[in-house]
Amino acid sequence: MVATAKNTGEGWSSRSAFILAAVGAAVGLGNIWRFPTLAGESGGGAFVIFYIACVFLLGLPLVLSEIFIGRVGQTDAVGSIRRVAGQSNASPAWSIFGGIGAIAAFLILSFYSVVAGWVLYYAGTMGADFIQAILSGDPLRGALAGESRDQIQQRLSDMFASPMLLLVMHLGFMGLTLFIVARGVSSGIEKAATYLMPIFFVLLLGLVIYGAVEGEMGEALTFLFTPDWSKLTPPVMNSALGQALFSLSLGVAGLITYGSYIKEGSGLGSTSAMIAIADTCVALLAGLMIFPIVFAVGLDPAAGPTLVFQTLPFAFQTMPGGALFGFLFFVLILVAAVTSSISLLEVPTAWGIGERGWRRPKSALIFGIGAFVIGIFCLLGYNVWSDVRPLGFWSLFAETDILDTVDGFTGKIMLPLGALLTSLFIGWKADKRLLQTTTGLSPLSFGLFRFLIAWLCPLAVIIILVTGLFPSILGA
Ligand code: TRP
C-alpha cells in the first residue's frame, strides 16, 4: 500500500530513516538531563526498575498507538485522528486530542529551547576551555583549570543573571530547529537525524568508556540497579510514570505526526519496540556515563537539575582529559536536544500545513517564532521576572517560576491528558481489524496490546493525572 501524506506528499525515504528520526525525537534532554537527575534524586535502583516497567507496559503500547494513527491517517495529527475515527465509526470529535497535542508540543518547545540554550552556552564555554588547553600545550588537562568549585558553580548563576546571554543562546537553538524543520521531512528532519544520531551514539559510547576507565563504574552500577524498594514512594512512582511519557515523546501527537510520513509496509510492532528499547538504553547509558564521574569525585548524585551544569563540570575539572571530555559531553547533549526539538516543532507545523493549508516554511516560521517568544518569557523568569508566578493563584503552581510553570502545566496536565485520550481512543474506539492489520501483531501480542492499551494505560495515566494535580493525596 503506497500512500504519501496527502497534505504535502512528504515521507521518509526508508523504514530505517523513520526509526532513526523517531529515536532522535525520543532521545533528548529527557534522557541525558532529566533521567539521571530523577534517578539521582529518587535514590537509584528502585526508581530505575519501576521506570523500565513503565516504559514497556505503558509507553510501548502508546508508541504503537500513535504510530498506528499516523500510519493510517497520513496527515497531521488532527486530520489523522479524524480519518481513523471515520474508518472506525467513531466521532470526529476525538481529533481534539490532536489539537491539544499540537498546543502542548508548541509549549514544550518554548522552554525546551531555553534549556537547550544553556547547553549551547556550556558547550561553547567548555569548547573555549579545551582550545585553551591545547594552546597551553596540555590538551589532556582537566576542565576549567584553576577555577575553584565556587567559581564553577558561580558560572551557572552568572548565566541565569544575564537575560541577553540566555536570549542569544535560545535564539541560536531555535533558529537551528526552525531551519531544519522548514526544509521538510526528508531533506530536513531525516537528514539531520541520519547525520546527528551516529555522532550521538559514538559520543555516548566514548563517554561511557571514559567513565568506566576514569570513574567509579562499580559504584554507579550498584546505585542504578540495586533496588531499595522502601525508596519507591508514590511521588517517586508518579515521576517515573511521567518521565516515561516525556522520554518517549508521548501524549503530544509527536509520533502520530512522524508516523504519518511512513509511506509503506506494516510491522509497526517491531518498529515501536525498537524505539522504546533504544530510548531506554540511552537513558541507562546516560546514567552509566554520569554517575561513575559523579562518584569518582565523591559528589552528591542527588544534586537535582544542576547536576549536569554544576556538579559535572567540577568533576571534569579533577579528571584527566576532563577539558576534552567535558566539551564532548555538552556537544552530546546538544545533538540529542536538536533531534528532539525538531519533532516538537514538526507537530504544530504539520497542523498548519494540513489544517490551514499553509506552506511548510510559513507554518514552521509562525510556530517557531511563537515558541521563541514564549521562551523569552521563560528565560526572563530567571532574572528580571524572577518573582512572577504565572499560575500563582493555583496552589499547585503557587511557587513555580515561568519556565517551571510551562513545564509543569504541559508535563503534569496536557501530556497525561493526551496519553489518556490516545489510549481510550485506541483501546475502545478504533476499528480492531484495522488495528490488527496495520500493526501486523501476532494474535498473542495483539491480545496483550489490547489489554494494556484499553485497561492498564488509562488507569495508570489517570493515576498520574490525579496525583499530579493533587499531590497531597500522595502525602507529598
Ligand atoms: N523525548 C524528548 C526528550 O526526552 C523530548 C520530546 C521530544 C518530547 N518530543 C516530545 C516530549 C514530545 C514530550 C512530547 O528529551
Longest dimension (CA), the chain: 71
Give domain limits for the chain.
Answer: 15-474
**If you average pLDDT over every residue of the chain, what do you get?**
93
Task: Find cell 495483539 and name the residue.
Answer: 446
For residue 35 and ligand 1, the question of a CB distance below 6 A is answered with: no
Helices 322-356 and 96-135 pack at an angle, to 10 degrees, of 150
CA atoms within 13 A on the CB side of 47: 27
Atom of ligand 1 nearest to the CA of 410: 13
| 335 vs 195: CA distance, rounded Å | 10
For residue 257 and ligand 1, the question of a CB distance below 6 A is answered with: no
For residue 25 and ligand 1, the question of a CB distance below 6 A is answered with: yes
Separation of CA 265 and ligand 1 centre (Å): 26
254 close to 347: Cβ distance less than 8 angstroms: yes
Separation of CA 279 and ligand 1 centre (Å): 11
Separation of CA 402 and ligand 1 centre (Å): 19
Task: Supply the residue whose CA is at minimum distance from atom 13 of ligand 1.
Answer: 249
CATH 2.20.200 fits 15-474, yes or no: no
Q: Give the per-residue pLDDT at 476.
A: 53
Task: Supply the residue whose CA is at minimum distance from atom 8 of ligand 1.
Answer: 249
For residue 278 and ligand 1, the question of a CB distance below 6 A is answered with: no
260 close to 8: Cβ distance less than 8 angstroms: no
Task: Find cell 529518587 and name the residue.
Answer: 42
Q: Give the per-residue pLDDT at 2.
A: 38
Task: Find cell 512522524 and name the residue.
Answer: 258
Name the residue among 431, 458, 457 with its Cα closest to residue 90.
Answer: 431
Separation of CA 462 and ligand 1 centre (Å): 20
Atom of ligand 1 nearest to the CA of 28: 15
Residue 336: partners with Cβ closer than 8 Å, 6 or more residues away = 24, 27, 28, 29, 31, 32, 200, 282
The best mutation among 343, 349, 417 to test binding of ligand 1, ranked by most ligand atoms within 8 Å of the C-beta, falls on 343
Q: Give the per-residue pLDDT at 5.
A: 42
Separation of CA 29 and ligand 1 centre (Å): 8
Name the residue among 334, 310, 318, 273 with its Cα closest to residue 62.
Answer: 273
Task: Supply the residue whose CA is at minimum distance from atom 4 of ligand 1.
Answer: 30
Amino acid at 6: K
Handedness of CA 139, 143, 144, 148 (dihedral sign): negative
Q: Give the per-residue pLDDT at 220.
A: 95
For residue 258 and ligand 1, the question of a CB distance below 6 A is answered with: no
Separation of CA 178 and ligand 1 centre (Å): 16
Integer-rounded Cα Rg, in Å, for the chain is: 22
Q: Split the chain (476 residues) into runs of 10 and give each run's mean pLDDT.
A: 51 94 96 92 92 97 98 96 97 96 98 97 97 96 93 95 98 98 96 95 95 93 93 86 94 97 86 97 95 91 87 91 96 96 98 97 98 98 94 89 93 93 98 95 97 97 86 70
Separation of CA 337 and ligand 1 centre (Å): 9
| 119 vs 308: CA distance, rounded Å | 9
Task: Supply 252's cell numbers.
Answer: 503530544
| 239 vs 260: CA distance, rounded Å | 30
Task: Supply 108's cell numbers.
Answer: 514544550
Task: Supply the residue whose CA is at minimum distance from atom 14 of ligand 1.
Answer: 249
For residue 243 and ligand 1, the question of a CB distance below 6 A is answered with: no
Q: Give the per-residue pLDDT at 264.
A: 79
Task: Supply the residue whose CA is at minimum distance from atom 9 of ligand 1.
Answer: 249
Separation of CA 27 and ligand 1 centre (Å): 7
For residue 418 and ligand 1, the question of a CB distance below 6 A is answered with: no
CB neighbours (10 Å) of residue 98? Answer: 29
For residue 340 and ligand 1, the question of a CB distance below 6 A is answered with: yes
For residue 246 and ligand 1, the question of a CB distance below 6 A is answered with: yes
Separation of CA 139 and ligand 1 centre (Å): 35
Task: Find cell 499553509 and name the residue.
Answer: 358
| 47 vs 10: CA distance, rounded Å | 40
Tell me the per-residue pLDDT of 243-302, one tens digit each, with 9 for 90 and over: 999 999 999 999 999 999 998 776 899 999 999 999 999 999 999 999 999 999 888 999
Separation of CA 250 and ligand 1 centre (Å): 7
Q: Give the per-residue pLDDT at 241.
A: 87
Separation of CA 123 and ligand 1 centre (Å): 21
For residue 252 and ligand 1, the question of a CB distance below 6 A is answered with: yes
